[in-house]
Amino acid sequence: IAGITQAPTSQILAAGRRMTLRCTQDMRHNAMYWYRQDLGLGLRLIHYSNTAGTTGKGEVPDGYSVSRANTDDFPLTLASAVPSQTSVYFCASSVSGGYNEQFFGPGTRLTVL
């Protein structure tokens, strides 16, 4: 692995289904983030983790949950998907807090029908 990876690349999901988006980094970065990107809007932070074992809520956390059991992995779970969660989801990581550049994964395009 080189950098940060996400899976799946894209997914079509029925409303009401549970879905976990995976994110793994091999840079030993402390901080990790989940964003959603919608047309005409800036990236919006869903959840973040400043270090393994801790997580925090971002701007739009409702309907999403995360965990950070170790340094490398930061999965995002949609407990019961709704059409408004149709978006492109980016995972990112940085050495530490918000004054370090963030490195982004390739994104997951999710469609909820």
The residues of the shown chain that bind other proteins, judged by CB under 8 A, are 35, 40-45, 48, 58, 90, 97-99, 101-107
Quote the least distance from Cβ 17 to other proteins, whole Å.
25
Quote the least distance from Cβ 101 to other proteins, whole Å.
4
Quote the least distance from Cβ 18 to other proteins, whole Å.
25
Own/partner contacts of 6-10, CB < 8 Å, gap of 24 or more, are 6/89, 6/90, 6/91, 6/105, 6/106, 6/107, 6/108, 7/108, 8/108, 9/106, 9/107, 9/108, 9/109, 10/108, 10/109, 10/110, 10/111
Q: Which is nearer to other proteins, 17 or 62 (CB)?
A: 62
Q: Which is nearer to other proteins, 16 or 54 (CB)?
A: 54
The candidate with the shortest Cα–Cα distance to 89, out of 55, 72, 112, 56, is 112
Q: Which is nearer to other proteins, 10 or 80 (CB)?
A: 10
Quote the least distance from Cβ 104 to other proteins, whole Å.
4
Q: Which is nearer to other proteins, 13 or 88 (CB)?
A: 88
> Which pairing describes strands 10-13 and 108-112: parallel, antiparallel, or unpaired?
parallel
